[in-house]
C-alpha cells in the first residue's frame, strides 16, 4: 500500500511477515507535516496487522533524512501552527515507541535533526559507513526538544549534549556505533540491504508475542512521552517564531 503526493510519499510492502516501510521527499527526505502524519498512520496500521511481525524503516536516495521541512518552518506564523508541526515528530516517535512490532532502521545515508530522532526511535538500526549524523537545531534558534528523549535514551545525555552544542559538526557512523545509535555499519549498500533483510527474516521467525512483550520491556519508563513530547513541541513552536530563527532559516534557503 502507498500514500503519494507532490511532497513525497510513504510506501509499505509486506513480504514474509516483514513490512518494508519507505519514505521519500525530494528535499533530502525532509518531512512536511502531511508526510509525518502519513508515516504515523502507516506505523499505527502495521502495529495492528497480524500479517506483520517486523518492520524495516528506510528511505530512498543517498540521504536518510534531513529532518523538518525548511519551507514549512518558514511558513509558520503563529504558535498553534508551530506546535502542531513539531507535534508531527512527536506523533511519529510515539507511534514507533508504542508499535507492537520490532522496528529495524536501515540508515543508508546522513541524518540531521528529526532524522536522528527517527533513527533513535528504531529498536535496532543498521547503517551505511557514510551515515553520519548531526543535530543542527540550536544553530537556527530552536533545539532538538521533541526528539531529545529518544536520542538520549539511545546514546545517553552526554553524547546528546555533544551533538546539540556542536550543531555544525558531523559525527561519523563509527561514532554512532560507539554510542549505541547503530548496531553495525557496512561499507556497501548491498551489504547493508543483505544484513538488514537477513536480520529481519530471523526476527520474523521468532514468537511474535515474545517480540511484542520484549518491545514493551525495551521501552519501559517512557510512558510519560505521551505528555512530554507535546510539551517539547510547544517549546519549539514558540521558538520557531523568533526573529533569530526566521533569519537563520532564510539564510539557509539562499
Tell me the per-residue pLDDT of 33-69, one tens digit each, with 9 for 90 and over: 999 999 999 999 999 999 999 999 999 999 999 998 8
Predicted confidence (pLDDT) at residue 140 exceeds the cutoff of 80: yes
pLDDT of residue 248: 85
pLDDT band at 6 (very low <50, low <70, confident <90, very high): low
Which domains are assigned to the chain? 2-189+223-253 (3.90.226.10)
Identify the CA nearest to 134 among candidates 166, 175, 158, 182.
166
Give residue 254's pLDDT: 64
Q: What is the DSSP string of the chain?
A: -EEEETTEEEEEEEETTEEEEEEE-TTTT-B-HHHHHHHHHHHHHHHT-TT-SEEEEEESSSEEE--B-HHHHHH--SHHHHHHHHHHHHHHHHHHHH-SSEEEEEE-SEEETHHHHHHHHSSEEEEETT--EE--GGGGT---TTTHHHHHHHH-HHHHHHHHH-TTPPBPHHHHHHHTS-SEEESSHHHHHHHHHHHHHHHHTS-HHHHHHHHHHHTTT-TTHHHHHHHHHHHHHHHTTSHHHHHHHHHHH-
- Tell me the pLDDT band of 4, cut-offs 50, 70 and 90: very low
Say whether pTM exceeds 0.85. yes
Amino acid at each position: 500500500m502507498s500514500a503519494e503526493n507532490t511532497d513525497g510519499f510513504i510506501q509499505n510492502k509486506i513480504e514474509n511477515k516483514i513490512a518494508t516501510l519507505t519514505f521519500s521527499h525530494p528535499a533530502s527526505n525532509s518531512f512536511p507535516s502531511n508526510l509525518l502524519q502519513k508515516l504515523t498512520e502507516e506505523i499505527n496500521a502495521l502495529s495492528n496487522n497480524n500479517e506483520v511481525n517486523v518492520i524495516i524503516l528506510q528511505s530512498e536516495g543517498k540521504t536518510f533524512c534531513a529532518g523538518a521541512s525548511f519551507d514549512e518552518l518558514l511558513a509558520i506564523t503563529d504558535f498553534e501552527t508551530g506546535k502542531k508541526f513539531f507535534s508531527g515528530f512527536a506523533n511519529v516517535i510515539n507511534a514507533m515507541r508504542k508499535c507492537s512490532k520490532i522496528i529495524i532502521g536501515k540508515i543508508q545515508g546522513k541524518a540531521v535533526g528529526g532524522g536522528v530522532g527517527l533513527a533513535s526511535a528504531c529498536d535496532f538500526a543498521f547503517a551505511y559507513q557514510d551515515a553520519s549524523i548531526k543535530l543542527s537545531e540550536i544553530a537556527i534558534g530552536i533545539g532538538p526538544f521533541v526528539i531529545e528523549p529518544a536520542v538520549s535514551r539511545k546514546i545517553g545525555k552526554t553524547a546528546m549534549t555533544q551533538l546539540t552544542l556542536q550543531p555544525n559538526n558531523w559525527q561519523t557512523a563509527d561514532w554512532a556505533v560507539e554510542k549505541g545509535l547503530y548496531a553495525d555499519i557496512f561499507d556497501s549498500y548491498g551489504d547493508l540491504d543483505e544484513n538488514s533483510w537477513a536480520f529481519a527474516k530471523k526476527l520474523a521467525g521468532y514468537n511474535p508475542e515474545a517480540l511484542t512483550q520484549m518491545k514493551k520491556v525495551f521501552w519501559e519508563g517512557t510512558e510519560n512521552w505521551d505528555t512530554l513530547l507535546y510539551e517539547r513541541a510547544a517549546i519549539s513552536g514558540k521558538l520557531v517564531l523568533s526573529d533569530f530563527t526566521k533569519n537563520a532559516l532564510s539564510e539557509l534557503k539562499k
